[in-house]
Structure formats: structure tokens, C-alpha cells
Amino acid sequence: MESTVIKTVDYNAYFGDNRVVKDVNISIPKNHVIAVMGPSGCGKTTFLRGINRMHELIPHAKADGKIFLHNEDVMQMHPIFVRLKIGMVFQRPNPFPNLSIYDNVIAGYKLNGIKLQRADKDKIVEEALTKVALWNEVKDSLRKKGTFLSGGQQQRLCIARAVAMLPEVLLFDEPTSALDPISTSTVEELFHELKKNYTLIIVTHNMQQAARVSDRTAFFYMGELVEYDDIKKMFTNPKDNRTQNYITGRFS
């Protein structure tokens, strides 16, 4: 039987009085890749940012309903603890420009005031970079700035930074939209490896990418979760006309 990692119950997100995510109920199983699709402005990124309480960082933004990480309500937890358990990788690679590759990986520990012995830092850095298939490429350049890397390497460095905190869930907001095709392919291959140890939720505009990397897809439209199903069923036999129209390109 599948173990549920994230579950939302009647989750709503607002900008001021404007409700942009509406009564979303979804259960996300452990060690799966979930693609979140839908046209621009449909609420998918807002929903993603709500899962680790980042939505509330925006002025005049608020949320209600419940989000469970296992049996704990994320909405009742301290946001910093939530973000240790639920890491996030953004659309554009954003390594800290003034930090070395090494210090980028362990930045989360410093930002949260967690002191580590040098040997522990070394171990965390090597393990995180190995998990994102970057260690062999950068092990001799760890003291160089993270911005020294190519775009694809920078994005993997950002994934390593998230992985270093030992989260259970990784959120990705259009993680390959700023990358070239070869770097995109490398990151997509990485998703298959990462899901052995993590649950991945990926917002993507790219339906082909969703088909390649995800186990299930959630389709959002006008703030609503219209359909959530196995990726093959979603693409071959969607239940809702709006899903069908989106997949066949009748609206984008």
C-alpha cells in the first residue's frame, strides 16, 4: 500500500481578497514524481509555494485549509522547520553569487544557525553533490564560486543545496525552463534517481516533460485542481473536457 507524504484538505491561497487556489484536495505518495500542469495564471506555482509555506512570504498573501506532511499539519508548524523537510528549487538557477560551490551546498545550515564540524560539512557536501551527479565534475573546484558553473550545473548545485538539508519532499518550479536541451535532459535523468529517496513535485509548462518524468499529473485550471491521475491515463483518457482541451492544445 502506498504511503502518503503530502495531503492537502480544502487548501486555499489568496492574494489580498483574490482567491487564486481553490479548495484543493490531493494526496501525494512517497517516492513518486508528481507533475503539476496547467495554463499560465492557473495557480500551480502558488499551490507549490504553499506546500512549504513560501506563499505567505509575499505581502498581502494568505492561505487556509490544511496541508499534512505525514500526520502533521504544515500550517501549524514553524515555517523554518517546514522548509527543512520540504526543499524548493526555483525556475532560474540561483546559487548564492558570493559563495563557493562548497559553501552553497551547506548554506542552509548556516542560514538556520546549525553549527557543524568540518568533517561533517565535508561529508554533507560530497554526499549532496554525489546525489545530483555533480561531485565528479566539481570536486577539484569546490572553492570556486557557484556562478563559475554552467547553467545546468548551477541548477544541479541548487538541487544539492536543497538535498543537503535531508528533506523528504522536493518542490521544483519550472526547473528546466532556463536550461538548454542537454542540461534539461541531465536534470530530467536526475529526477528518476532522486525519487528513490525523495518525493518530487514539479510545476512544468512542458507536457512532454511531464510525460517523461512523472508518475502522476495534477491539472490545474482557474485555481482549481481539475484532475489528478496516473500520467498515462491523464494523457490517453482524461476524465474532464478541460484537461482534454489543454492536452490537445485547444488552450494554453
In a domain, 41, yes or no: yes
Instruction: State the Cα–Cα distance between residues 207 and 173, nearest whole angstrom.
Output: 14
Average pLDDT over residues 191-207: 95
Domain harbouring 71, CATH code:
3.40.50.300
Instruction: State the Cα–Cα distance between residues 135 and 124, nearest whole angstrom.
Output: 12
Give the model's pLDDT for residue 102: 97
Query: For residues 143 and 175, is the Cβ–Cβ distance under 8 A?
Result: no
Instruction: State the Cα–Cα distance between residues 171 and 177, nearest whole angstrom.
Output: 15
Residue 1 in this model has a pLDDT that exceeds 70: no
Residue 252 in this model has a pLDDT that exceeds 60: no
Instruction: State the Cα–Cα distance between residues 13 and 43, nearest whole angstrom.
Output: 9
Domain that includes residue 12, residue range: 4-93+167-247
Hey, is 118 helix, strand or coil?
helix
Q: Give per-residue pLDDT as tens, 28-70.
A: 999 999 999 999 899 999 999 999 999 999 999 999 999 999 9
Instruction: State the Cα–Cα distance between residues 16 and 81, nearest whole angstrom.
Output: 26
Where helices occur in 133-248 by DSSP H, the ranges are 135-138, 151-163, 181-194, 207-213, 231-236, 241-247
Give the model's pLDDT for residue 113: 87
What percentage of residues in the chain have a pLDDT greater than 70? 99
In a domain, 190, yes or no: yes
* pLDDT band at residue 115 under the 50/70/90 scheme: very high
Report the DSSP pairing between strands 61-69 and 4-15. Answer: antiparallel
In a domain, 180, yes or no: yes
- Strand-pair partners of 62: 14
- Order across the sheet with 33-37: list the strands: 86-89, 169-173, 199-203, 33-37, 216-221, 224-230
Question: Is pTM beyond 0.75 here?
Answer: yes
Q: Taking the mean position of all CA atoms in its chain, how far away is CA 162? A: 10
Instruction: State the Cα–Cα distance between residues 158 and 90, nearest whole angstrom.
Output: 8
Count of domains for the chain: 1
Q: How many residues does the chain have?
A: 252
Residue written as grid cell 523528504 = 168
Residue written as grid cell 496541508 = 67
In a domain, 123, yes or no: no
In a domain, 102, yes or no: no
Handedness of CA 169, 174, 176, 178 (dihedral sign): negative
Q: Give per-residue pLDDT as tens, 64-108.
A: 999 999 999 999 999 989 999 999 999 889 999 999 999 999 999
Instruction: State the Cα–Cα distance between residues 156 and 108, nearest whole angstrom.
Output: 16
In a domain, 16, yes or no: yes
In a domain, 226, yes or no: yes
Residue 224 in this model has a pLDDT that exceeds 90: yes
Average pLDDT over residues 131-138: 96
Q: Which three cell numbers stand for residue 44?
A: 500551480
In a domain, 11, yes or no: yes
Q: Which three cell numbers stand for residue 143?
A: 572553492
Contacts of 209 (CB under 8 A, 6+ apart): 35, 176, 184, 188
Give the model's pLDDT for residue 249: 84
Where helices occur in 95-197 by DSSP H, the ranges are 101-105, 107-111, 118-131, 135-138, 151-163, 181-194
